[in-house]
Structure 1
Amino acid sequence: MANKKRGSQALIQSMINQQVQYVFGIPGAKVDQLFEDLQYSDQPNAPKLIVTRHEQNAAFIAAGIGRLTGKPGVVATTSGPGVSNLVTALMTATAEGDPVVALGGQVPRDDLARYTHQSIPSKELMSVASKSSVEVQDSNNLSEAFTNAYSTAISGKPGASFLSLPADVLSGEVTRLEMQQLKEPEQTQTSAKTLNQIIDLLKKAKLPVILAGMRASSPAVTEALHQLLAKVSLPVVETYQGAGAISHEFEADYFGRVGLFRNQIGDTLLKQSDLVIAIGYDPVEYEARNWNVEHNDQIINIDTVAPELTVDYQPDMVIESDIAGTLSALTDALPASYHLPKTAVDQLAKLRSEFDGQSTTATTAKPGTMHPLDIVNTLQEKVDDETTVTVDIGSHYIWMARHFRIYRPRHLLFSNGMQTLGVSLPWAIAAKLVRPAEKVISVSGDGGFLFSGQELETAVRLKLNIVQLIWNDGYYDMVKFQEEAKYGKNAGVKFGPVDYVKYAESFGAKGLRATNSEELANALDQAQQADGPVIIDIPVDYSDNIELKSALLPDILN
């Protein structure tokens, strides 16, 4: 019997079959059929439609869903500027490995070749921002197109898939059955010969180190990594997107994060090591030319995708297979007698003693402001292992990445591929939707916050208890201090003040201000009791940013 329905209904059923829970976006004439059918669907498990205040932020929220769950978030927008506003968010998602399916409305098919209202070459535009970009030309192809877009978004290195949907395709009649739920692909296994080669390199190494990258942050991989560390103690350096790979139990194996500026404990360890085991590492996080300037003697690359090869990154072993399975097999194959050489243990102890205490050094700040370390340390005391912390781009993000500890993967989120301003609040919205019972804290600078601050209304409407910290200094400070390091002066980085307490109140949220650690601690306690989002405005003194660039190589500033 014919399965007659509209294209938009078939598309919604395809989302249901892939267990999509939300669709984020902004309506418009070329996509309104989809919005109508989502809003008034009689399907009990139809995705919930969440309207946002900007298409870019809708895609950021969808990307946040993708990063947190490993399953694509979905964003839908109208044609023309509705689609073009997706570019930055989709490019960020593709660079940073966050699965997203973006649905862009398009003019009817007979208008595609005309200079008509909101007609742009959407498919071609999105081909540079996404892993795949397809324009659907027949209503009967909608389910197949969506399912393939979904599959592409999660395959290999995850990223964004885009579908251009002409209005008459969405409203057209569908008689074809929808695609069913995707099956989990069978993971490739590492051979015994390969495992023996890894073990042989480990035995010969004087100072091996694990570099845990973005694809080491999945629950399965971190669990396998923990099993390995339980058998043999190996030093681990996290990238920013690998944050949380090391739990409390293995804190003695944690040797910092790398991701910006080559002057940290992790950089020093990578420099001294003669064997780097890169797990799920992606060069977009921190190019090898930064951490491998001296060209380590040996590199083993363990990942689900082939590495990008450069002069600075030519691994001696490339293992392209299931990461968790490879680590588990390596743990089983490692002799019980293997351990780090005593020289390595002594070297690691010396290295740790040189860097210990960085987070607890004495600080001073101008009256009425807080030192970055005091903010980080106060926040550290107020979170638990279940808390999700999202971080925007700015000087605050460097201080957070270096000094803020987290012990579960994908609970401390950074944009370290594109370093895109404005991600923090949208990601926090995603986190609160995915983890409604857990604390969610968003950290932004006063520059980056207003890139997506309008989504405070979305958080208020959804009654999401998100705590938004704003480190407020009146500058695009991350640019400011780097300009001063390069040129001795700054340019184009100052902007006017905003009263963020009143800003919060104007949206129906709560606004607080903290100028010292006691006030911040009290504000954080008070914020967790609120029914909806809370902004905490924190005047910050960045005078010590000179410490962020200490011992930098000249090329790093460029």
Structure 2
Amino acid sequence: MTDKAGSAATQCGAEMIVRNLVEHGVTHVFGIPGAKVDRLFDALVDSPIETVVTRHEQNAAFIAGGIGRITGKAGVAIATSGPGASNFVTGLATANSEGDPVLAIGGAVKLADRLKLTHQSMDTVAMFQPITKYSAEITSPNAVSEVVANAFRFAEQGRPGAAFISTPMDILSMPASGPVLAGRPLPDAGAAADEAVAEAAALLEKAQRPVILLGLLASRPDVAQAVRGLIARTGVPVIGTYQAAGAVSHDLADRFGGRVGLFRNQPGDQLLHEADVVISIGYNPIEYDPWLWNVDDARRIVHVDVVAAELDTHYVPAVELIGNVAASVAALTAKVGKLARATTLEEILGDYHAKRRGDLLEARSTSKTAVHPLQIVRELEKVVTPDVTMCLDMGTFHIWLARYLLSFRARQMLISNGQQTMGVGLPWAIAASLINPAQKVISVSGDGGFMMSCMELETAVRLKCNIVHLVWVDQQYNMVEMQERKKYGRGSGVDFGPIDFAMFARSCGAQGIAIRSADEIAGALRTAMEAEGPVVISIPVDYSHNHLLMEPLARLGETSAAA
């Protein structure tokens, strides 16, 4: 940083913000400048932070959220006042729902103009309060460090989420002084109270059919490691929500009963239904509504989390282990031994693994111009090695992949299910590539979701990201169509026209490959994985088997749609 930005005596508010970001370990910021916040972008030039200009503020927030999910440290996005800041809304709501730490900084009109009907005047602090953990305005240049430090602490502590700071235009230019309040580690909670751990252990020892339900915090590397110890020690069957992908290691795959979410019709739902005790670890009801999986309230719940449970008629824990989740799981593991294996649960586990293998082996499309979803999954299995990160957008494809494509590394597969946000796939992939530039990232979207963030393909090209992005093409908002068809017997408002995605990719400077048959998938993936820089592969998909995704299991009765 230059003397101009580094001098506490002469720096302005914008330079003070940048100084704080540097001291908090920020290496990249994502966003779009504007007149109300250009002083901040100017100050970034004199810092070691790389400014990544995006093509839309929503995607800047998505990329920052991806940084937060993978690293545990808040990613940072910056936008100008008015519509620049308001474009953050979907990105911050998504991050807050998914437990991803993000700090968004939005420009604002001068303090004296806040109550006037002037250009780009907007109460963004009030706007973001319902969808963030922290929303505040810097009203004095000498309060910069306090506001920034607290924003980072709120975003990263406990159950992580989003924080927003409003920066009035005049505050950015005023002289600023004071210490930087960085370098102070967050106080780390210890394990849950010994009495609660002992009570949970006793409940488990008496259980006839215990099952572990993993939530989004379980996919954090430290928690995943502790979870694996618990599974290995007890032998208890384990399932996960979509966001818990990767928490179970490959050597424990025989204990894994699949993922649950959206529709109550999976083997994992059978396991939950048969369970007399459910140990929920890092689970948030937003991932999968309790009324869907705890139908008759017949099972006792051990809630293991960093925060107390939000009580629900169908989610009233018998025991709560509140504290550091990894430490609480480790403490519980130390108090229990190998638990008896219930025949009913073992049969369900066996059926799950057999059906998954059979479905993948037998899947074929009856269409001559489109590919069965599981034919794509089969080929992806061959290239998704432990060092490859996957980022899934939202759509029907996301259900097929969540159910059939396994992952065994914490945070290897990024999935959204809190807000079910379309458009996150490519921005998350950019984040993953920036964090590990030597590794390949595979992102997947439908043709509808891709067009919501496709402009960032140019950003990925500019950053030389090693991304392979698959676009599943069917010219519909298919996940909506699937559910409309089940409810009403027809689709409505879901159709749109074709786009040549390979040509679009080339127009952005990326490589583009158009698949025409299942036989071409393996070669296209091989070419893309060996290429440098972004590659887009478009694949025509046969979704005629979608009804299977919603079919009820006889033992559970009629499924319920939650999407």
| TM-score range for the pair, normalised by the shorter chain length | over 0.9
The answer for the alignment partner of 1:282 in structure 2 is: 284
Give deviations 1:281-337, integer Å, cap 9, x for gaps. 0000001011111213211000001111111111111111111101111222224xx
Letter in 2 for 1:20: V
2:441 paired with 1:435: no
**Following superposition of structure 1 onto structure 2, how do residues 513-524 of structure 1 map, counting pairs within 5 Å?**
513-524=514-525
Q: Which residue of structure 2 lines up, in the alignment, with residue 411 of structure 1?
A: 412
Contact 1:440 1:465 in 2 (8 A): yes
How many Å separate the matches in 1 of 2:94 and 2:148? Answer: 21
Is 2:348 the partner of 1:343? no
Alpha-carbon distance in 1 for matches of 2:493, 2:117: 38
Q: Give 1:84 shift.
A: 0.7
Partner residue, 2:12: 6
CA contact (8 A) 2:193 2:321 kept: no
The aligned counterpart of 2:534 is 533
1:36 aligns with 42
Are the structure 2 counterparts of residues 422 and 367 from structure 1 closer, same or farther at C-alpha, using a change threshold of 3 Å?
Answer: same
Structure 2 residue identity aligned to 1:343: T
Counterpart position of 2:76? 74
| Closer/same/farther in 2, CA of residues 494 and 334 from structure 1, 3 Å limit | same
Distance 1:345 1:488, change over 3 A: closer
Tell me the equivalent position of 1:20: 26
CA pair 290-439 structure 1, distance change in 2 beyond 3 A: same
Partner-residue secondary structure (3-state), 1:543? coil
Partner of 1:332: 334
Q: Tell me how far 1:114 sits from its aligned partner.
A: 1.0
Change (3 A) 1:11 1:349: closer
Q: How many residues align?
A: 552
Contact conserved, 2:67 with 2:74, CA < 8 A, in 1? Answer: yes
CA deviations on 1:214-270 (whole Å, 9 max, x unpaired) are 011111111111122222211110110000111111111110001111101111110
Contact 2:246 2:407 in 1 (8 A): yes
Instruction: Report the CA distance between 1:136 and its aligned residue.
Output: 0.7
Question: Which amino acid is the alignment partner of residue 472 of structure 1?
Answer: V
Cα separation, partners in 2 of 1:108 and 1:199, compared to 1, 3 Å: same
Q: Which amino acid aligns with 2:223?
A: V
1:556 aligns to what? 561
1:476-555 alignment to 2 at 5 Å?
Answer: 476-551=477-552, 553=558, 555=560
Answer yes or no: is 1:362 the counterpart of 2:370. Answer: no
CA spacing shift, 1:249–1:496, aligned 2, 3 Å: same
Choose 227-236 or 357-366, whichever is displaced more: 357-366
Residue identity opposite 2:364 in structure 1: T
The one of 199, 203, 220 aligned to 1:197: 199
1:339 alignment partner AA: L
Task: Give the Å deviation of 1:345.
Answer: 6.0
Residues 254 and 349 in structure 2, CA contact (< 8 A), matched pair in contact too: no
| Structure 1 match to 2:120 | 118
Compute the TM-score of the two structures, normalised by the length of structure 1.
0.96
Query: Quick check: 2:439–2:466 contact (8 Å CA) kept in 1?
Result: no
Q: Residue 359 of structure 1: CA displacement?
A: 2.8
After superposing on structure 2, the runs of 4+ consecutive aligned residues of structure 1 that deviate more than 6 Å are none
Contact 1:206 1:343 in 2 (8 A): no
Partner of residue 163 from structure 1, selected from 162, 165, 174: 165
> For 1:557 and 1:488, how far apart are their aligned partners in 2?
18
Q: Is the 8 A contact 1:444 1:471 kept in 2?
A: yes
2:4 maps to which residue? Answer: none
Residue pair 1:136, 1:164 contacting (<8 A) in 2 also? yes
1:453 aligns with 2:459: no
Written as runs of structure 1 = structure 2, the 5 A alignment for 1:34-73 is 34-39=40-45, 41=46, 43=47, 46-73=48-75
Which residue is equivalent to 1:318? 320
AA matched with 2:368:
P
Question: Equivalents in 2 of 1:194, 1:390: separation in Å?
Answer: 37
Q: Output one character per residue of 1:399-434: Cα deviation in whole Å (capped at 9) or x when no partner.
A: 011001111111111110000110000000000001
Report deviation, 1:81: 0.3
Identity %: 45
SS at match of 2:211: strand
Corresponding residue for residue 294 of structure 1: 296
TM-score, normalised via structure 2 length? 0.95
- CA separation of 1:400 and 1:169: change in aligned 2, threshold 3 A: same
User: CA 1:142 to 1:365, structure 2 compared with 1: closer, same or farther past 3 Å?
Assistant: farther
Cα shift at 1:350: 5.3
Aligned position for 1:136: 138
Amino acid at match of 1:360: L
Change (3 A) 1:548 1:522: same
- Give the structure 1 partner of residue 92 of structure 2: 90
Cα pair 1:301 1:317 within 8 Å, conserved: yes
Q: Match for residue 221 of structure 2?
A: 219
1:382 equivalent in structure 2: 383
Q: What does the per-residue CA deviation read over 1:170-189, in whole Å, with 9 as the maximum and x for residues that have no partner?
A: 11101212212121313222
- SS of 1:556's equivalent in the other structure is coil
Summarize the Cα distance change of 1:91–1:353 in structure 2 as closer, same or farther, 3 Å threshold: closer
Report if the CA contact (8 A) 2:208-2:342 is conserved. Answer: no
8 A Cα contact 1:18 1:182, kept in partner: no
SS of residue in 2 equivalent to 1:284: helix
SS in 2 for 1:133: strand
In 2, Cα distance between the equivalents of 1:363 and 1:474? 21
What is the SS of the residue equivalent to 1:128?
A: helix
1-structure distance, mates of 2:176, 2:245: 45
Would the alpha carbon gap of residues 420 and 265 (structure 1) be closer, same or farther in structure 2, given more than 3 Å must change? same
Counterpart CA distance in 1 for 2:486 and 2:170 is: 56
Is the 8 Å Cα contact of residues 290 and 556 (structure 1) preserved in structure 2? no
One-letter amino acid of the counterpart of residue 525, structure 1? R
CA contact (8 A) 2:369 2:517 kept: yes
Range with greater deviation from structure 2 (128-137 or 249-258): 128-137
- Matched residue, 1:424: 425
Q: Which amino acid in structure 2 is aligned with residue 512 of structure 1?
A: I
The CA RMSD over aligned residues, in Å, is 1.6
Which consecutive unaligned segments of at least 5 residues does structure 1 have? Answer: none
Paired letter, 2:558:
L
